[in-house]
Amino acid sequence: MFDLSGKNALVTGATGGIGGAIAAALHGQGATVAISGTRAEKLEEVAKELGDRVHVLPCDLRDRAAVTKLGEDAEEKLGQVDILVNNAGITRDNLFMRMKDEEWDDVIAVNLTSVFTLTRTILRNMMRRRAGRIVNIASISGVIGNPGQPNYAASKAGLVGMTKSLAREVSARGITANCIAPGFIQTPMTDALTEKQVETIAAAIPAAKFGTPEDIAAAVVYLASEEAGYITGETMHINGGMVMA
Amino acid sequence: MSDIAERVKKIVVEHLGVEADKVTENASFIDDLGADSLDTVELVMAFEEEFGCEIPDDAAETILTVGDAIKFLEKNSS
């Protein structure tokens, strides 16, 4: 089950903790992967670790034209994109009253607008083939909110609504669109938390620990598989029981 | 009937799964042929492929009937 041999996947944010694990997991199931991120050197490192069946496509997701080009380049390198994983995300945390316009705009541009633009580009040929898997990485912050993250939470909640609308449009055409909402996962993003924050958060998690990037990657493999054809518009919550939706 | 008209009608018949005799020039994709809005987007994509041309969004919005499509393609296809 969940064999992805012969499938082609594009993963954004592949230099991050979760994105790297997603690329590795899809690759491990046999997929050819195109990995994208802002840091070209780090991408090359990830590619080297994976071995063959890997393409490196650096991209700054704040640049709309570059995002469209990323989609076109991925289709050219891969032949076609069967699996699109919109994983890239940034944080620019600040209290609501102190948040700068640029902090708001950057997070919305990378976390939400780029997903729309890239998906629109890739969707065209998925529609032609009447097949495709779109997996968007949301966040528990978008589900329950998080102090200091009005921008991040808005972008991630936005992904959930956008994904549901997309699923309603395209599911009759063999394309599924789903979200995964990770809880607190051990990554460079959560390494920024203070010890006290980590303690407080862990106390609210029934599993009593942070998750791993592999916990998320396994769910991406499932949603990307042929076997998951009847699940669409869904948000899969992977958070150690922190929220039971 | 022009060659273009025949090719357009063939695409419509195949894509929407309707009887060929219902695909008249006055037939509206949505009102007469049972297409939904996404079907019309897909039809435009199919026309672009068949005729090797690009149909911009503002032009696509004016293509409501089989005749509209034929007229547009007679003017714009290579």
The residue extents of the domains of chain B are 1-76
- pTM of the entire predicted model: 0.92
Question: Bridge partners of A185?
Answer: A211
Interface test with B, best of A169, A170, A175 (most B CBs within 10 A): A169
Determine the Cα–Cα distance for residues A149 and B73; give it in Å rounded to an integer. Answer: 51
pLDDT value for B76: 87
- Asked if A129 has any chain B CB less than 8 Å from its own CB, the reply is no
β-strand partners of A135: A85, A178
A109 is in an annotated binding site: no
- In Å, how far is B14's CA from the nearest CA of chain A? 14
Give chain B's mean pLDDT.
92
Residue A152 assigned as binding residue: yes
A222 is a catalytic site residue: no
Asked if A140 and A237 count as a contact pair (C-beta separation under 8 A), the reply is yes
End-to-end CA distance of chain A: 27
Which of A126, A128, A165, A166 is the best mutation test for B, with the most CBs of B within 10 A? A128
Residues 41-60 on B with a CB inside 8 Å of A are 41-42, 45, 49
| Catalytic, out of A26, A152, A177, A213 | A152
Domain ranges of chain A: 8-234
Residue A33's closest CA among A50, A1, A63, A55?
A55
Please indicate if the annotation marks A201 as binding a ligand.
no
Catalytic choice (B31, B36, B57, B68): B36
Residue A222 marked in a binding site: no
Question: Consecutive sets of 10 residues in chain A, 245 residues long: mean pLDDT of each?
Answer: 97 95 98 97 95 96 97 97 97 96 98 98 94 98 95 98 98 97 91 88 94 98 98 98 91
Residue B20 forms contact with A (CB below 8 Å): no
Query: Which of B38, B40, B49, B57 should be substituted to probe chain A, the one whose Cβ sees the most A Cβ atoms within 10 Å?
Result: B38
d(CA B61, nearest CA chain A) in Å: 17
CATH 1.10.1200.10 describes domain B1-76: yes
Architecture of the CATH domain A8-234: 3-Layer(aba) Sandwich (3.40)
pLDDT band at B78 (very low <50, low <70, confident <90, very high): low
C-alpha torsion angle, residues A181, A187, A193, A198 (rounded to 10): 70
- Cβ-defined contact of A124 to B38 (cutoff 8 Å): no
A127 touches chain B (CB under 8 A): yes
Give the Cα separation of A65 and A62 in Å (integer).
Answer: 9
Flag whether residue B36 sits within 8 Å of chain A, measured between CB atoms: no
A185 is in an annotated binding site: yes
How does pLDDT run across B22-67, given as a tens digit for each residue?
Answer: 999 999 999 999 999 899 999 999 999 999 999 998 999 999 999 9
DSSP one-letter code for B65: B
User: What does residue B68 show for φ and ψ, rounded to 5 degrees?
Assistant: -60, -45
